[in-house]
Structure 1
Amino acid sequence: MGGTDGEFGLPRSRAANERLHALVPGGAHTYAKGDDQYPEGLAPVITHGRGAHVWDVDGNRYVEYGSGLRSVSLGHAHPRVVEAVRREIERGGNFVRPSVVEVEAAERFLATVPTAEMVKFAKNGSDATTAAVRLARAVTGRARVALCADHPFFSVDDWFIGTTPMSAGIPETDLTVTFPYGDLAATEDLLARHEGEIACLVLEPATHAEPPPGYLAGLRALADRHGCVLVFDEMITGFRWSEAGAQGLYGVVPDLSTFGKALGNGFAVSALAGRRELMERGGLRHSGERVFLLSTTHGAETHALAAAMAVQTAYTEEGVTARLHALGERLAAGVREAASGMGVGDHVLVRGRASNLVFATLDGDGRPSQEYRTLFLRRLLAGGVLAPSFVVSAALDDADIERTVDAVAQACAVYRKALDAGDPTPWMGGRAVRPVFRRLA
């Protein structure tokens, strides 16, 4: 596909989006997939995907990045995963008692993430992370939760969403406090101000930048000193940093951790894992007060657990994490070269670990700009690249990277024109893309 601004359009996708909005609040089941995240009239509605490519209802094929909000790291319809799922579906998916697949999946997960001693599976990350918070409150007898203010999302539940601009419908509470990433002194000050009140520290162990030297170990020491639970949200870092997550890569063991996204390669499976002493409080083999940890009808569907085991096998046998890093490094170098060649190297930036790249679009004054992001996304789509981020999947090949870099170069040429004009509006094609967390629709 391709074409100029005047030629490129998605009439069938636009019509499908209207149907979605008439029936589904927000037009999508995840806010980050909403059409407000894309240029006006250019939000593709997908029919299918294979490998690193997806097709929309208009018949266009795209090289796709950030697949399934970072969940599809092996590529769509990965044969090993599909076969594992097909095999279990034919044997039944949900029973009145645990399936043998549940113990096999637990054994496999704990062998992959040896820093944990017990695991409980669920369907989405929010449930797992909220369960970690509930467990931390139960074992400490404390109510306050301290979460990292620099990380965008932890849960759909009140303890987190109440801290965002989309807090409508949530009773006011002061039980959630925040700390900045990378600043041990500020975190220690927070713990001292709320001495004996904070149940847990919740954070992604790594983000778009590497943890400062000694930071994670310092947090571990602070949590121990102040008697609170250290929770690592490994939804993104799990598998993409290493098979054992960031905790495996950096060698710092949390009390509890949560995994999802890449764990199922698009199938719904998440995990809460951690120390036996804590996790067993949600079980039957202790004499203390019971914790309603996780109890989900579909949390242990056999096909999803089979998908998770197949993903773990693929990562360990095929060297997927190393491949993701190599692909990301190649892509980042190409994008930076293209941006620099078009004179916008200071305005189109690629950031993050190679396996988890994002891009920033800056205006003429070097400030983040949704208007320039809109222009950039519009030109990428016209070039056959669907890229809300530059998060790679292992299914990409050299031709995909080359096609992406070519599309970036074309986008950067238009970006340069907009910078020279001092106004991106003529190249936006309508309203600017919008942040997910905003108070008004």
Structure 2
Amino acid sequence: MPQSAGTATSPAVDAPRAFTASTAAQRRLHELVPGGAHTYARGSDQYPEAMAPVLVRGEGARVLDLDGNWFVEYGMGLRAVTLGHGYAPVADAVARAAHQGVNFSRPSVWELEAAERFLAQVPGAEMVKFAKNGSDVTTAAVKLARVATGRDLVAVCSTQPFFSTDDWFIATTAMSAGIPQAHRDLTVGFRYNDLDSVRAMLDAHPGQVAALILEQATATAEPAPGFLEGLRELADRDGFVLIFDEMITGMRWAAGGAQSVYGVVPDLSTWGKALGNGFSVSALAGRADLMEVGGLNTAAARAFLLSTTHGAETTGLAALLAVADTYAERDVVGQMETQGELLRAGVEQAAAEAGLANHVTVMGRASCLVFGTRDHEGNPSQAFRTLFLQELLERGVLAQSFVISAAHTDADVELTVEAVRGALEVYGRAVEAGSTDGLLRGRPVAPAMRERAAPRRLPDSGPEQATTTPGEVGR
């Protein structure tokens, strides 16, 4: 595996770190950008107070901030980076494409090559259309389903965190201000791994559900035996369109997505994030008869489908092709799983040795790990999570989660485990004292999706927010 940058120049794990320049830059960002960042999961409220690094560059699995601090990074661009920051084959392919022209008045050969490669990679998908972000393609999938079925309602998995920034989904969240109630009334919910909740939802709205959308698996939950198969049977029986959201699972579970792992083929699937190793490219794929509703060969009313200026700009498609080449050349997912298991074992051993195995836990698929943080009474805790983040940052690890990449070397994992050992020493003192007071500098982190701006001090907010990485809130 490629060597991470910063090994020779990174400070020692226990070296003090200043965040003066980053804090000043973050303050200026708040004056210019609502929320101080362009994704809520990247907001300064997701990090310990005055310890939110503003980054300059990244190499491999490490990133450099404005104060000259190197960190081993996890989360990797909200799970979008699987090959490492600045991965040369992808960056070079993008540069070559840019020099040949980025945007034209007619389709480019990049569109043809990317479509052929993508459809060969995803068995069961017959057509594909590219875009720039995940929200656009999930909304496009919903629109196709409504046109194809003549129905209005959309069923979303209400126990999963995020599907789109558009009104049909955001109307169901705590941040629904500005969205008419009529939009909320068109979205209904069901629970993951609960076919009875799906049947009950369909019975409550007979013949009205156009689409059902969910992630086949998450960082902390695998599909129960028969669940996905049951959804497929219900879709075939009831006539709704089954949509699998592969934003996270695609390229992390397998190059062919989670659908190739679990063996259930959706009607439509939506892709993004790691498809371009962080470059902006997303995809809507699926059955030809559904996709053609937005094409030229349809007898039905045409859907206005992803007609955007930048949808097929060449650099994103060049990134997709270069990523596909790398996945064909080596077992990227296998490398992530190997390093993820190494990290899991190291953190769990450190927690056990510290007597904190029930307080700091590691969960999920090895290529997509998250950690849980519990207080002295065993309850999920934002304050204790913040203390853990604080102590990891002090020791050179930037980790809202433990989501890994194929660029994380053994040395990166070893540094991380040593940082965890040091963080757990402080964490253990908080558990013993029954409080983070005197150890946590500043306010606790806040849930990314919340109705109101956070007060300076926040109460603990429950298990889902405390144990799930905020990186899930973004498309």
TM-score (norm 2): 0.91
Q: State whether residues 347 and 362 of structure 2, in contact with CA within 8 Å, keep that contact through their aligned partners in structure 1.
A: yes
1:161 matched to 2:170? The reply is yes
1:248 to 257, 260, 270: 260
Q: State whether residues 126 and 285 of structure 2, in contact with CA within 8 Å, keep that contact through their aligned partners in structure 1.
A: yes
CA distance in 1, matches of 2:187, 2:400: 30
Aligned AA (1:379): E
1:353 matched to 2:365? The reply is yes
Displacement of 1:267:
0.4
CA distance in 2, matches of 1:52, 1:24: 27
Question: 2:393 maps to which residue?
Answer: 381
Q: Please, which moves more after superposition, 226-235 or 166-175?
A: 166-175
CA distance in 1, matches of 2:14, 2:97: 47
Secondary structure in 1 matching 2:345: helix
Aligned AA (2:204): R
Aligned AA (1:316): A
1:321 matched to 2:333? The reply is yes
CA distance in 1, matches of 2:142, 2:310: 21
Question: 1:50 maps to which residue?
Answer: 59
Two-structure CA RMSD over aligned residues (Å): 1.1
Question: 1:270 maps to which residue?
Answer: 282
In structure 2, runs of 5+ residues without a counterpart are: 1-10, 454-475
In structure 1, runs of 5+ residues without a counterpart are: none
1:303 to 293, 301, 315: 315
Aligned AA (1:147): V
Q: State whether residues 371 and 425 of structure 1, in contact with CA within 8 Å, keep that contact through their aligned partners in structure 2.
A: no
CA distance in 2, matches of 1:34, 1:368: 21
CA distance in 2, matches of 1:428, 1:344: 18
Q: 1:265 to 1:234 in 2, by over 3 A?
A: same
Secondary structure in 2 matching 1:295: coil
Alignment of 1:73-152 (within 5 A): 73-152=82-161
Aligned residue pairs: how many?
440
Q: State whether residues 340 and 404 of structure 2, in contact with CA within 8 Å, keep that contact through their aligned partners in structure 1.
A: yes
CA distance in 1, matches of 2:119, 2:364: 28
Displacement of 1:425:
2.2
1:18 to 23, 27, 35: 27
1:192 matched to 2:203? The reply is yes
CA distance in 2, matches of 1:211, 1:300: 34
Aligned AA (2:118): F
Q: Which deviations, in whole Å up to 9, do the C-alpha atoms of 1:111-139 show, x marking residues without a partner?
A: 01122000000000000000001111111
Displacement of 1:142:
0.7
Q: State whether residues 9 and 41 of structure 1, in contact with CA within 8 Å, keep that contact through their aligned partners in structure 2.
A: no
Regions of 4+ moved over 3 Å: 1-5
Q: State whether residues 13 and 396 of structure 2, in contact with CA within 8 Å, keep that contact through their aligned partners in structure 1.
A: no
Q: State whether residues 216 and 222 of structure 2, in contact with CA within 8 Å, keep that contact through their aligned partners in structure 1.
A: no
Q: Which deviations, in whole Å up to 9, do the C-alpha atoms of 1:286-314 show, x marking residues without a partner?
A: 22210011111101111110100111111
2:413 to 401, 407, 417: 401
Secondary structure in 1 matching 2:53: coil
Q: State whether residues 2 and 8 of structure 1, in contact with CA within 8 Å, keep that contact through their aligned partners in structure 2.
A: no
CA distance in 1, matches of 2:392, 2:386: 10
Aligned AA (1:367): N
TM-score (norm 1): 0.98
